Structure 1
Amino acid sequence: MDGHTVADRVAKLTGQEVGRATPKGGSHAWTVFRVELADGTPLFVKALPDGPEGDGFTGLFQSEAHGLDWLGQPTASLVPDVVAVDSHTLVLSWVDERPATPRAAEVLGRRLAETHTAGADSFGARNDGFIGPLPLENTPATEWPRFYAERRLAPYLRRAADRGVLTPADTRTVEKVIDSVEDLAGPPEPPARIHGDLWGGNVLWRDNDAVLIDPAAHGGHRETDLAMLALFGIPHLDRLRDSYNEVAPLAEGWRQRVALHQLHPLLVHVCLFGAAYRTTTMDAARAALRG
C-alpha cells in the first residue's frame, strides 16, 4: 500500500485536496498513514490493500467507525472523530500523543466510567464485529455469563484447539471455566457500553486526558475493559481505577474476577500469535477457576 493510493482514496472520501500521505507502520493486513490535507490538517488513516487480501476484511472498518461513534455518544472527547470510512479505508482525526500523566489517567478513569454507565440495549450488539482481524459474534443476549461463555470463550477456544496450540488437557481446563461461568461471574450487572479491546496500545495519551482507538465495542461487562487494561500494563492504572470507582464503584470481589475477564483476550492472542501466549492463557484459566 503506497502513499499515492491512500492520498487518492482520502481525497475522494473527504472531497478535499490532499497534500501527502506518510506511512506509519502496519498491523495484520492494514497499513496506517498520517495524511495531511492541503490546508495542513493532519488525519489518521488505516488502509487495506485492494484485491483478495483486503476484501477478506469486509465490514471491519465500518464496524470500527460505528464502535467509535457509539462510544463517543456519552463523552465525545473519549474517541477520535470519524472523518470518513469505506470498506478499505478509515479516516480519523489525528491525535497528538503525549506521555501519560496521573492527571490524564484520572480523567480517563472518570470518562470510562461515564461511558460504561451509559449502557447498552443488551449484551452483544445489533451486528457482528471484529477483534483485531478476527470475527467477533455479537448476537444479543440478556444475561452476561452465557454471553461471555458462548460468544467470547467457546469460539476462540475452538479456534485455538483446532490450530493445535492448546493441548486436550488445556482445552478441558478452559471448558471448566465455560461450564462454571455463572458461578464465577459475580453479581449480575446491566449491559455496559464497553470498548471491548482495551489494551494499553489502544489508549492514546494527550496532555490532560486520553483517546481510545481500535474498539471491538459492544454491550458487555464493565470489568472486562478494566481487566484488559491490567493485562498488558498501562501507566498509572491505580489512579485510573480509583477515579473510575469514584464515579461507578466496582462490585465486591472484582479482583478475583480479573483473570476470568482476561481469558477472552488471551485466547484471541493464542489464535493470532500461537504458543507464545499458551502459558499465560492457562494461568488465567486456572486463576479464574480459583475465583
Structure 2
Amino acid sequence: MTRVAIIANPASSKDIRRVVSHASSVSNNEKTSIVRRVLQGLAATPVHEVWYLPDHAGIVRNAAERQQLPFRLLPFEGQWHDHADDTTLAARLAEQHGVGCLITLGGDGTARAAVKGSRSIPILALSTGTNNAFPQTIEPTLAGLAAGSMACFASEAVTRHALLEIYRNQELLDLALVDVASVADSLGGRAVWEISKVQQVVTTRLTPGTVGLSAIGGHSGIAPADAQAVHVLLGAGRTINVPIAPGLITPVALAESTYLTAGESVELRSGAIALDGEREWMARAGEQWQVKVLADGVATVDIAAALAAFTQQQAR
C-alpha cells in the first residue's frame, strides 16, 4: 500500500521579517488552494492513502471538500497545538505509517521541523514561508504528481543534501537544514534579520540564489568542489551586499570565511543560537557548542526524475 503525507503550516509567512522587508504573505486560503492542486496531482497517481496533520485553519480538510478523490484521506491522530512540535511528531508518525513521500507547506523552519521527525522519508517542501532556501517553488499540481510518483514507483528519484548537527558539550542537541548563526543577544522575536547582531554563520548554501542568513555564505566566494558548507565570521573586513529578507538588501562586513567538508565542525560563540533563521537556543559561557557538517543528511524529491518516472509508467 502506497502512502503520502501532507503537513501544511498555517503560521508560515507571518513572522517579523514580513514587517521589516517587502515580502508578501501567503494566506491560509491560498495554502488551501495549493493543497487542492496537490491533491489533484496525487489523484492522478495510484496512491492508496494520504495522511495529513490537522490544524486550526483546516487547510487540508477544506482543500478536500467537494472533491472526488480516489485515495483515503486520513488525519494523524494526536493532540495538536499548532506548534512546530506538531510537525515533528507528524513526520515521525508518517515514518511509522510507512509513508513514501512527505509534502510540507511552509518555509525553512517548517521543513526543518519535519526532518527532525524523520530523516528517512524523502521530503518535497513547497515554499509558503518567509525564508525559503530549502523549500521549492513549483506548481502544486506537479508537486502532487511528483510526490505520488515517488511513493508508487520512483523511490530512486532522490537528491541528497548536507545538514548541520548542533552539539552542546559533545551531545547532539538539534539540527539545521540551511544555516546556523550565533547572535550577540536574545532580545526581540525569534526571527533573525538584524545583521549588526549576527556574529557568525554556518550554512550549507554555497552559491547565490537564496534569501536570508544563508545568502551570506552564497555571496562570500566560490566554493571548492568538495565543500559541503561554509563558515563565515562577521566583522571588520570586505563588505558584500546580501539579500537578508525579501526586498531587503543589506551590507554585510566579512572578517573571515572558511569552507567545510563532510564531518568537519566549528565552534559557536556564546549568545543566541539561530537555526534556519530563528532563535532556538542560548549558548552560555562555559558551554561548548559546535556545528558539524553531515553530508547526505536530508533526502529530497528530485522532481524532474519523479515526473519522468510518472511519464514512463504511463507509456507502459
TM over 0.5: no
Between Structure 1 and Structure 2, the one with more strand by share is: 2
| Greater helix proportion | 1
TM-score, length of structure 1 as denominator length = 0.28
